[in-house]
Amino acid sequence: MILRDAVRVLIDNWDGGHTVPSRRLYPHQWSWDSAFIAIGNAHLSPRRARTELLSLFGAQWSDGRVPHIVFNPAVPEGAYFPGPEFWQARSPSGAATSGIVQPPVHALAAWRVHQAEPDLAFLRRIYPKLVAQQEFLRTARRSPEGLISIVHPWESGMDNSPAWDRPLSAVETDATGYRRRDLTHVSAEERPTDRDYDRYTALATAYRDSGYREPGAFHVEDPLFNAAYGAAELALADIAAACGLDPEPHRAEAAAITAAMVEHLYDDGIFQSRDLRTGYLIRSSSAAGLVPLILPGLPREIAHALIGTGLDHFGLKDGVLPSFAPTAPEFDPVRYWRGPSWINLTWLVWQGLKDRRSDLAASLADNMINAVVRSGFREYFDPVTLRGHGSRDFSWSAALILDVVA
Ligand code: 2M8
């Protein structure tokens, strides 16, 4: 039954060359959503999964960046804020796009799609594009410590995380001339506040006005983003080997980023973000700090400590993974990335637990399934009651459940 419903969500959200995250709230193509959707579609239609990834990379910029949104010209202007008229950006292929990025989980997706249905022509086509995506991050976003930075909370994928409250408080806003569209579809207490939107808009405006080059008031290194970058190198190693190319440089890069994360972002049982404006760690209880479990090269004692933190503060054994620890004062079970459970975040930690603690991985899988059985393919879930929030018929929730039950 849930499988049939998951398939229906993916079919209903397919737009001919890509899948929208949800019909009303997010009517365009989003970068990391497409990667998660491809992982699910690999079980359903590998051909569609390949098309999903290739259509996203069709809008890659000449500097290698993969924009976080590719706008569908058929969608009426004003359906989503900020839309193409705000970003004023085009890819060499002519697609209207945003100018920021999202966590690079695409190489992992491409490798999964190939594993589901081997297709060397696809791998050879996408490999240089995936390498260019990483190359952009290495050249435009690498700090002297060897870590990759983000310049906007939207780049983290966990936009409204309490981890961003402090760096965002330094952002000056003038809050003019824009209208939010999200509140037409979802209730205000489930979404970021107007004050946060003022800051998101101010930051994106400043980055746009620098020609999408200069980091503005928000400049941080995030553990989820860096872990995704490292996992991408490992997937690229597999892809390179399958294509008859040398996998070693990718393995070395994955080892280097893992070591840099351990040295600079790990603190007392969890990985933290670091604010490049101050040089200090941003100590918070974000579940992003557990995602480095997806890196197989993580030292064993650190993986062990992360699992301990997951058990003590995130209820890892008994439930779905909250995006922010319920034991922390900022925890909010219904507001966007400030506590609710998300299937994609839970899926990432599930990946990281499969080879380390199969018992915990199995219980996370059961609980992801319980959440969608109880509430449908919602965008996010109250981690305690499993009540659904955000949009309905949400694509990555459906796609990743297909992968979990496969
Ligand atoms: C959410 O982000 C967008 C901005 O990119 C928004 O709130 O309007 C986040 O959950 C992000 O991670 C996700 O990719 C996007 C589409 O599902 O929605």
Complex ipTM value: 0.99
Q: How far is CA 61 from CA 67, 91, 192, 361, in A?
A: 8, 5, 29, 37
Q: Residue 26: phi, psi to the nearest 5?
A: -130, 80
pLDDT above 70 for 243: yes
Q: How far is CA 279 from CA 7, 190, 273, 282, 331, in A?
A: 46, 32, 10, 9, 25
* 245 Cα to the center of ligand 1, angstroms: 35
pLDDT above 70 for 358: yes
pLDDT for the residue numbered 184 = 86
Band (317; pLDDT cuts 50, 70, 90): confident
Q: How far is CA 76 from CA 81, 131, 392, in A?
A: 12, 34, 21
Looking at the CA of residue 69, tell me the nearest atom of ligand 1. Answer: 5
Asked if 256 and 142 touch (Cβ cutoff 8 Å), the reply is no
Mean pLDDT of 334-361: 97
pLDDT for the residue numbered 339 = 97
The catalytic residue positions are: 159, 379
Ligand 1 pocket member 336 (CB < 6 A):
no
Partners of 275 in the β-ladder: 220
pLDDT above 70 for 192: yes
Mean pLDDT of 75-91: 95
Beta strand pairing call for 281-282 and 273-275 = antiparallel
Ligand 1 pocket member 21 (CB < 6 A):
yes
pLDDT for the residue numbered 179 = 85
Percent of the chain having pLDDT more than 90? 92
Mean pLDDT of 151-176: 93
Looking at the CA of residue 154, tell me the nearest atom of ligand 1. Answer: 5
pLDDT for the residue numbered 175 = 66
Ligand 1 pocket member 26 (CB < 6 A):
yes
pTM score over 0.95: yes
Ligand 1 pocket member 380 (CB < 6 A):
no
Q: How far is CA 138 from CA 134, 142, 196, 299, 390, in A?
A: 6, 5, 29, 24, 34
Provide the CATH topology of domain 2-405: Glycosyltransferase (1.50.10)
Domain residue ranges in the chain:
2-405
Helix axis angle, 343-354 relative to 223-242, nearest 10°?
A: 60
Mean pLDDT of 222-250: 98
Which of 42, 97, 260, 229 lies closest to 150, judged by CA? 229
pLDDT above 70 for 299: yes
pLDDT for the residue numbered 256 = 98
Percent of the chain having pLDDT more than 70? 100
CB atoms within 10 A of CB 236: 26
3-state secondary structure of 191: coil
pLDDT above 90 for 178: no
Report the alpha-carbon distance of residue 347 to residue 35 in Å, rounded.
13
Element (H, E) at 351: helix 343-354
